[in-house]
Structure 1
Amino acid sequence: MGRKDWNLYQYRGISMSLDYRAFYQDVVDWIYQSKEVERIKGFGTEEYMEWIVQSVVQICDKYHDDKFVQKQMRMLWQHIDDAVRMQGVGSDD
Structure 2
Amino acid sequence: MDYEKFFSDVAKWILECNSQAINLGFGNDGFWNWVVNSLGELCTKYNSEPLVMKQTDMLMDWLEDTWEEVKNGS
* Alignment gaps of 5+ in structure 2: none
Unaligned runs of 5+ in 1: 1-17
Aligned residue among 58, 72, 77 for 2:55: 72
- 1:58 aligns to what? 41
Superposed displacement of residue 86, structure 1: 2.0
Q: TM-score normalized by structure 1? A: 0.73
**Cα distance, 1:48 vs. partner?**
0.6
Larger Rg computed on CA atoms? 1
Count of residues in correspondence between the two structures: 72
- Taking CA–CA contacts closer than 8 Å with sequence separation of 6 or more, which of the two structures ends up with the larger relative contact order? 1
* Residue identity (%): 31
Give the ranges of 4+ consecutive aligned residues of structure 1 lying more than 2 Å apart after TM superposition.
none
Q: CA RMSD in A?
A: 1.2
CA distance in 1, matches of 2:40, 2:60: 11
